Structure 1
Amino acid sequence: MRAARRLVRHEFLLLTSLLWWALRRTPNTGDGTRHFGYQRGEGPMMLGLGFVCVVETVMMALLLRPWPTAHHVMLVVDLYSVGLVTAFHAACVVRPHVLDSSGGVLRVRRGAHLDLRVPLRAITAIRHERSVGPGGARGGAVDEALDVSVGAMTSLTLELAAPVTHVSFLGRRRPVRVVRFHANDPDALVSGVEAARSAALGGGADA
């Protein structure tokens, strides 16, 4: 039952992302925060997937024309699939990573299904470190490391003094001490986190 609720919530967040995207607004980010996008790495892939879904919709509509019931059912399914692909991209656009200096937290996000809150005081190191391949493609966690890949790629590595709790898509909880994720401008995010962390520690710590 809990898994079903999480699935419904995820679908709701995806669909509402379309509205935020159309309004060109970023929800749930207050004053004094900096936003760092990450969707650029998978833009071509999402465009290609969307194109395939549109072609499939047209082809199935033509093939099933002699069978009206099957045609209508598949048309609804195909249009919904196109909408989900668009909504997934929209969620990545309107839910960027958020550096909240006043709140002392870095929110590492991935569309509608990941929002990991990392206290700035827990960060011991952050560096620009590109990883492409099987490690980034699996998009999962190994031991106490979490890979949040975009287009099978990560560009940043975050090391923590104390673990934070990662909640998976279906609600599984586990501690993580290393987070690998992607940002369109990793150098700007590194600089921002180092400055905010230094301020949070009273200017007496090095990143």
Structure 2
Amino acid sequence: MRTTATLAAALVRHELRLFVSLLLWLGRRTHQVRHGRAFGYARGEGPLMFGLAFVCVIESVTMSVLLRDLPVVHRVVLVLDVYTVVLVVGMHAANVVRPHVLDEDSLRIRRAAHVDLRIPIEHIACVRRELRVTHQRADGELGLAMGTRTTVTLELDRPVVHFTLLGRPKVVHLVRFHADEPGELVHAITRARSALSRTDQVPDPPG
């Protein structure tokens, strides 16, 4: 059983990753893309995140007016409100600077600072562009919607282990996620699978 301290540590690590993402976003950098090809997924949810941040700012101003005669309470609420706005913007920053990454032998699927799943190309049995706007939880399936949408579906011939935000392992054999350019990503994964298959079929040179 996971202790309260372990769960708290997991949440602290997540918030630290958000702050790192915010710094990367301000510096117009990405997180661990290296020589792979990045595929973004934040475009559709960006306006929603900034709208949420704007609502938080309005709420902060309103509370400042209501609590102006209670200076101690006002300062505490102001700190909490500012921290909330920073976290919301950090979530958007994490979506931007932590894209999906495809390289020669693996696909790295990410969602902000709380999902980072690396899938070997050889484990992908099928990939297709598939728009889904409703999702039901099912054993062995991982759904990473942006808003309510996923646009790419991966079927695996061998399960992989996904660790949740709180570190709990989950075995998955099907992954649904969103990409801003799903057609390009599906095509790139298909080409990577074909290239890997051709490499595996090349006979060893005679001794």
- Of 142, 149, 163, the residue aligned with 1:146 is 142
| Runs of 4 or more above 3 Å deviation | none
- Aligned pairs (5 A) from 1:124-203: 124-133=125-134, 135=135, 141-202=137-198
Determine the structure 2 residue equivalent to 1:28: 32
- Of 101, 109, 127, the residue aligned with 1:98 is 101
1:64-98 CA deviation, whole Å, 9 max, x = no partner? 11110001000000000000000000000000000
Instruction: Extract unaligned runs of 5+ from structure 2.
Output: 202-207
Q: Partner letter of residue 23 of structure 2? A: L
Determine the structure 2 residue equivalent to 1:107: 108
Q: Partner letter of residue 76 of structure 1? A: V
For 1:29 and 1:183, the matched residues in 2 are separated by 16
For 1:200 and 1:3, the matched residues in 2 are separated by 39
Q: Partner letter of residue 190 of structure 1? A: V
Instruction: Extract unaligned runs of 5+ from structure 1.
Output: none
Is 1:123 the counterpart of 2:124 in the alignment?
yes
Q: Partner letter of residue 128 of structure 1? A: R
For 1:88 and 1:142, the matched residues in 2 are separated by 26
Secondary structure at 2:33 match in 1: coil
- Aligned pairs (5 A) from 1:13-92: 13-31=17-35, 33-92=36-95
TM-score of the superposition, structure 1-length normalised? 0.92
Secondary structure at 2:150 match in 1: strand
Q: Partner letter of residue 127 of structure 1? A: R
Task: Tell me by how many angstroms 1:2 deviates.
Answer: 2.0
Secondary structure at 1:9 match in 2: helix
- Of 8, 23, 31, the residue aligned with 1:4 is 8
Task: Tell me by how many angstroms 1:204 deviates.
Answer: 7.5
Task: Tell me by how many angstroms 1:44 deviates.
Answer: 2.1
Determine the structure 1 residue equivalent to 2:205: none
Q: Partner letter of residue 61 of structure 1? A: S
For 2:41 and 2:81, the matched residues in 1 are separated by 27
1:8-58 CA deviation, whole Å, 9 max, x = no partner? 110000011111001100121212x10000011212211211111010011
Task: Tell me by how many angstroms 1:4 deviates.
Answer: 1.6
The root-mean-square deviation of aligned C-alpha atoms, in Å, is 1.3
Please tell me whether the aligned partners of residues 107 and 117 of structure 1 are also in contact (alpha carbons under 8 angstroms).
yes
TM-score of the superposition, structure 2-length normalised? 0.92
Q: Partner letter of residue 19 of structure 1? A: L
Task: Tell me by how many angstroms 1:169 deviates.
Answer: 1.0
Residue identity (%): 50
For 1:18 and 1:204, the matched residues in 2 are separated by 41
For 1:129 and 1:6, the matched residues in 2 are separated by 33
Please tell me whether the aligned partners of residues 198 and 204 of structure 1 are also in contact (alpha carbons under 8 angstroms).
no
